[in-house]
Amino acid sequence: MTAPTAASAGAPVLDAPPMTNDLFLRACRGEIVERPPVWMMRQAGRYLPEYRAVRAKSDFLTMCRTPELATEVTLQPIDIVGTDAAIIFSDILVIPEAMGMHLVMEESVGPQFPVPVRSLEAVRQLRTPDPEVELRYVLDALRMTRGALGGRVPLIGFAGAPWTLAAYMIEGKGTKQFSVAKKMLFQQPETAHALLARLADAVGEYLVAQVKAGAQALQLFESWAGSLGPQEFRTFALPYLSRAAAIARTAGVPLIVFAPGASWALELLAESTGADVIGVDWHIEAADARRRLAPHGVSMQGNLDPCLLYAPPDIVRARTLEMLEGFGGQRHIANLGHGILPDTPVESAKAFVDTVKSWRSPATAR
Amino acid sequence: MTAPTAASAGAPVLDAPPMTNDLFLRACRGEIVERPPVWMMRQAGRYLPEYRAVRAKSDFLTMCRTPELATEVTLQPIDIVGTDAAIIFSDILVIPEAMGMHLVMEESVGPQFPVPVRSLEAVRQLRTPDPEVELRYVLDALRMTRGALGGRVPLIGFAGAPWTLAAYMIEGKGTKQFSVAKKMLFQQPETAHALLARLADAVGEYLVAQVKAGAQALQLFESWAGSLGPQEFRTFALPYLSRAAAIARTAGVPLIVFAPGASWALELLAESTGADVIGVDWHIEAADARRRLAPHGVSMQGNLDPCLLYAPPDIVRARTLEMLEGFGGQRHIANLGHGILPDTPVESAKAFVDTVKSWRSPATAR
């Protein structure tokens, strides 16, 4: 393990070594590439035996909070699967925790907030987090990982988007319908807006801090976009996602926005968030996403159904090739259309990554 | 409670009284109406105190299996909320049970099959159900309800679509990602196709039997449409949904197909299933659905977000009016975009229904 690289405050890491593989950053910026870069959401995860070995000795939150462990598992997929980017091992719920909420991670139930936020008073009691204080452990993990990577591949930082975090904070846990959170939108809209505004600033500042600590690109996860219909999405999700994105963009690195379950909103996200890259989930065919997003001058990231990695390797390869051709080879970052599943065979993950890496993009941009 | 009306085998109920309110059937057939008819998915449900009173004395499956109880709760929303159609109280999982699977309904967990179907051998061991034998209790409930309705409003029968039933049968329970069921699609596609083919026939025959027992319209619920991407939906869901629909259509009553979570497939469903009505979930705006489906000459059903019924009555009214205007007033059956939630205030359900009933459609078809 390499010692942490200190990031100079307010600017990207200045003494960092040059990138040996900057394909991911070039694709984010829409430059012509020889092939799409590839990484996988949740690539540092339970499908890797090496991850499970670390996890066997520490619980999930301890791994998040211990920079050495977070760095170790962040690097695993780079070494084992050979992805073109690293994403820091962390969780979207670190922000609500940094705002003062008690977070409990129970193996079988998933993350829970035993005391949810359900009133304006509860919103007022939330702390405005200072990333270098309450979230220092994430920033330390970024600094350490950036150093350990030594320029091999770029490092991605991330955060949950305001509506997604608010939904968790109001519900207190993950649910299928988010009916408690949605009830607040309809019964106490001013409480919801107050919470969302607090979150937009906290998320934006946290992302900027991640860049100062060494993140070379950022991803905003609006994981529960699909819980809102178009009108509520425009009222309660998009303005705060855009506000967090606007703050994050001041850090000057590429920004990816991913809103799974809201394929209808692809164009809207491209127009409203100023993102360099729009994530595409597996509910939409690659060629459709490309046709819809091409006029907006953004890059795209996605979108193989993670369940396809259960298929035999020849089918994984065939479907990956179809996806690559659908996106057309430029302004595309190959990825899954959702996080990789814990029982995915490592061989299938490699077949996916290797198929992308042996493919060649048509030389002309679309 | 009126005595059951015997249905003549092979034909609709011949001695049934004339309909006093046939608005729903006219809208299904695309006839010009003075206003859209209105009903709500799961309208016989826990939001009604009168339902909870019945439920307090009998468990869910006993209610399904006891025609007197099923009839009683089927009629409740007609009397209490004033909807323009009744839908028989039952469950989509009665078909797997009729095929020989042991169904357990546990309050906190939801329905479960302790012995799921995961091999070709298990598919072969499934029984081909005779609706008048294994599902006689549903048909008796339909006969009894049709008699008790006395022509006040039409009676809708329903079934789960093959992929949705297969997903439950393979998983053994509801899940968020259906990764076990999807794994079968990629690892044992022949087993999946064999199961789906058996289900398509069973579902189709069951729907025909429901019409013989008095159902005046049918709805096919592809409740887990959203678990499949476009390519898998076309391979594993649509062909079997269409086959079940084709059998059901021989019964000669209007057919509604509802595939929540697959808004991308609206046109495909209209083209492929021959349905008279396509259900629209709340992820899409009414005017968009109308624009996309208008060329296909089908009616539409939906689509207020059930969570909107948490809002104060004036907002329920305003949003219902927006929805009615979006659909345009013809070829539209007003409904929610998903089942009504258990903690919905009855007053809000009434505000929704009353708003539709006091609205007037523009006289001209779109």
Span B308-330, pLDDT tens digits: 999 999 999 999 999 999 999 99
Rounded Cα distance between A71 and A143, Å, is 9
pLDDT category at B251 given cuts 50, 70, 90 is very high
Tokens found for residue B237: 């869901």
ipTM score assigned to the predicted complex: 0.92
| Residue B294 Cα, gap to closest chain A Cα (Å) | 19
| pLDDT tens per residue across span A84-139 | 999 999 999 999 999 999 999 887 788 999 999 999 999 999 999 999 999 999 99
CB atoms within 10 A of CB B34: 11
Residue B42 bears catalytic tag = yes
Task: Specify the 3-state DSSP secondary structure of B279.
Answer: strand
Catalytic residue among B22, B26, B35, B42: B42
Count of helices and strands (H, E) across chain A: 17, 9
Q: Give the residue among B261, B270, B342, B268 at the shortest CA–CA distance from B299.
A: B270
Per-residue model confidence (pLDDT) at position A176: 85
Fold classification of B80-279 (topology level): TIM Barrel (3.20.20)
Nearest to B186 among A185, A187, A307 (CB): A307
Per-residue model confidence (pLDDT) at position B11: 43
Average pLDDT over residues B339-364: 94
Catalytic residue among B29, B46, B234, B292: B46
Domain layout of chain B by residue ranges: 80-279
CB contact under 8 A, B305 and A341: no
Task: Specify the 3-state DSSP secondary structure of B78.
Answer: helix
- Find the closest chain B residue to A303 by CA distance: B229
pLDDT category at B13 given cuts 50, 70, 90 is low
Domain covering A23-357: architecture: Alpha-Beta Barrel (3.20)
Asked whether the beta carbons of A49 and A346 are under 8 A apart, the reply is yes
Residue A304, amino acid:
L
B242's CB contacts (< 8 A; 6+ apart) are B272, B273, B274
Q: What's the burial of B22, exposed, middle or buried (CB within 10 Å: 0-12/13-18/19+)?
A: buried
Q: With beta carbons under 8 A apart, name residues in chain A contacting B305.
A: 182, 229, 232
Residue B366: pLDDT over 50: no
Residue B7: pLDDT over 90: no
Q: What's the burial of A59, exposed, middle or buried (CB within 10 Å: 0-12/13-18/19+)?
A: exposed
Per-residue confidence in pLDDT tens, chain A, 366 aa? 333 344 433 344 556 778 999 999 999 999 999 999 999 999 999 999 999 999 999 999 999 999 999 999 999 999 999 999 999 999 999 999 999 999 998 877 889 999 999 999 999 999 999 999 999 999 999 999 999 999 999 999 999 999 999 999 999 998 888 999 999 999 999 999 999 999 999 999 999 999 999 999 999 999 999 999 999 999 999 999 999 999 999 999 999 999 999 999 999 999 999 999 999 999 999 999 999 999 999 999 999 999 999 999 999 999 999 999 999 999 999 999 999 999 999 999 999 999 999 999 986 544
Residue B158, amino acid:
F
Q: Give the residue among B207, B208, B216 at the shortest CA–CA distance from B5.
A: B216
CB contact under 8 A, B226 and A285: no
CB contact under 8 A, A282 and B229: yes
Q: Look-up: residue for tokens 């010692």?
A: A3
Predicted TM-score (pTM) above 0.90:
yes
Per-residue model confidence (pLDDT) at position B267: 98
Nearest to B187 among A179, A232, A310 (CB): A310
Nearest to A263 among B179, B264, B308 (CB): B264
- Find the closest chain B residue to A181 by CA distance: B307
| Residue B174 Cα, gap to closest chain A Cα (Å) | 11
Min mean pLDDT across A50-54, B18-22, B150-154 is at: B18-22
Asked whether the beta carbons of A280 and A266 are under 8 A apart, the reply is yes
63-122 of B, contacting A, C-beta below 8 A: none
Q: With beta carbons under 8 A apart, name residues in chain B contacting A310.
A: 179, 182-183, 186-187
The answer to whether A229 faces chain B, any CB pair under 8 Å, is yes
User: Which stretch of DSSP H or E encloses residue A119?
Assistant: none
Cβ contacts from A onto B, under 8 A: 80
pLDDT category at B15 given cuts 50, 70, 90 is low
Residue B4: pLDDT over 80: no
Min mean pLDDT across B56-65, B95-104, B355-364 is at: B355-364
| pLDDT tens per residue across span B69-111 | 999 999 999 999 999 999 999 999 999 999 999 999 887 788 9
